[in-house]
Amino acid sequence: MARSLEADLSAQTAGLVTAIRPSLASTSPSVGRDSLDELEAAFARFDGRPDTAEAFRAAGAGAEAQRSAGLAFAADALAAVAPERTSLTETIDDMVSTLARILEISPETAALELFLRTSSNPGLHDLPPLLTLELQLRLLLALAPISDVSLWADGHSERFHCLAHVGDTPVTRRVRHVARSVLDGQEDGCARERGTIHGVGVLRWQQPYAVLVARARPEDRRRTLAFLREAAARIGPVLEREMLLERNAARERGLIEAREKRLLRLGFDLHDGPIQDLVALASDVRLAQEQIDEHVNGRTRQLVLGRFEDIGAQIVELDAKLRNLAHSLEPSGVIDRPLAGVLSHEVESFQRRAEMQVTLDVSGDLDSLTASQRIALYQIVHEGLANVRNHSEATEVLVSVRSRERGIEAEIVDNGKGFPVEPTLIRAAKRGRLGLVGIGERVRLLGGTFDVQSRPGGPTTLTLLLPRWEPPAELESF
């Protein structure tokens, strides 16, 4: 179905776009399949997916539908490269000029349409909220007629603060005053026709709880306000998601702290209880061995002493296992040491116990994770390997942990016998055997995703993603 270019615009912005290109309906009807082919060729270096333009052709026939498909294709290409590039200005200038030429629209219209569609792209909103906010402000700076832009918010722990700032011009008192005025409802930040600083509120329940402030030349005031209003509408849901994540993080921190206290207490109980009892048992066994040695002679003596030596060896092995278990329950060991070293030690210990060939592949920065994330990642790898040892009959295991911009990706792959995933997990949950179910729950509490892929005959792959996110102090009061 053909779709109007102004379908996603507010009434004020739609009016501005109409003013920029008053005769859109009368433009050349040549915009069509050739335009998408030309855009695909021009943006191949940005998009890298040769089938994308073909998907957008499903918009339908007609110049308007094809022009809309072309804009959507360009926005999709820009959203793909935006997270990977530190500077977007040169790339975006190239895209805007190419888009305007091929679609036969003005550069101003191309810039506005490209911003609206890219800032709403689902790919950007899958990123952590603070990264999404930064990218939206970078897109705004590159596409709008502004020299800098900042996002301000009001809170309880810090009454008034700047959440993000993009641009070469430093924040001034005037910028702070405009932001404060909009948040207080004293003025709309746009009243001065000849002003160079403009503010637009980000609304929640029809009240401003954040504000975008940008610097622009007086003659660009109308276009600047159009960009700011549309940006504010798109930033609102991102801030809401950040608030929800912060609340979930606070709850998760409480759960993790309580759980770690229980684990620490269990470690102490093991050390002060069963381990000490085992030491006493070893002493009793040695005493019994000495006493029997005095009363048994000949071949029977050798058999009895050999049996006592076997029991002593089993006690020593059991003592070592209990001490390793008590040590693994100490969160400080995971928190204080480099995580790559902790995982390497865990894999080596597992390999000795299970007699499997285990390969560990770690890449990227893992030391910037929060304490909760580090503990959870360690325990997930620990339980994943235990699940392999107990159920898979595998001979080889690959553990991969990679730090990406969007988060920490981990994968455990074994060449074992495999299993039908859904019925197995259901039966395990009903029986209270929550190995994989527990892993999935830990990942969910941290806002991540977890997936199990397997089939009878194998292989089995556990995949998880933990978002790279640390709650900033200034957002704790939202």
Give residue-wise pLDDT tens across range 98-150.
888 888 888 888 898 889 888 888 888 888 888 888 888 999 998 999 999 99
Please check whether residue 169 is in contact with residue 147, taking contact to mean a CB–CB distance below 8 angstroms: yes
* Segment 189-202, tens digit of pLDDT: 454 555 789 999 88
Residue 30: its pLDDT value, please? 46
Tell whether the model's pLDDT for residue 216 goes beyond 70.
yes
User: Is 60 exceeded by the pLDDT of residue 23?
Assistant: no
Q: What is the pLDDT of residues 314-350, one digit of tens each?
A: 888 887 777 777 666 655 556 667 888 888 888 888 8
Helix (H) / strand (E) containing 153: strand 148-154
SS3 at position 63: helix
What average pLDDT does this structure show over 165-176? 87
- Six-digit token string for 138: 């970078």
Q: Which CATH architecture has domain 338-478?
A: 2-Layer Sandwich (3.30)
How far is residue 217 from each of residues 146, 222, 223, 230, measured CA to CA in Å?
8, 10, 10, 19
Contacts with 295 (C-beta within 8 Å, 6 or more apart), sequence order: none
Confidence label for 24 from pLDDT (cuts 50, 70 and 90): very low
Quote the crossing angle between the two packed helices 11-20 and 221-272, to the nearest 10°. 130
Q: What is the pLDDT of residues 397-453, one digit of tens each?
A: 999 999 887 788 899 999 988 888 878 777 766 655 556 766 777 777 777 888 888
Strongest mean pLDDT among 80-84, 157-161, 260-264, 367-371: 80-84
Distances (CA, A) of 403 to 55, 131, 167, 357: 32, 16, 28, 24
- How far, in Å, CA of 77 to CA of 97, rounded? 15
What residue spans define the domains of the chain?
1-126, 338-478
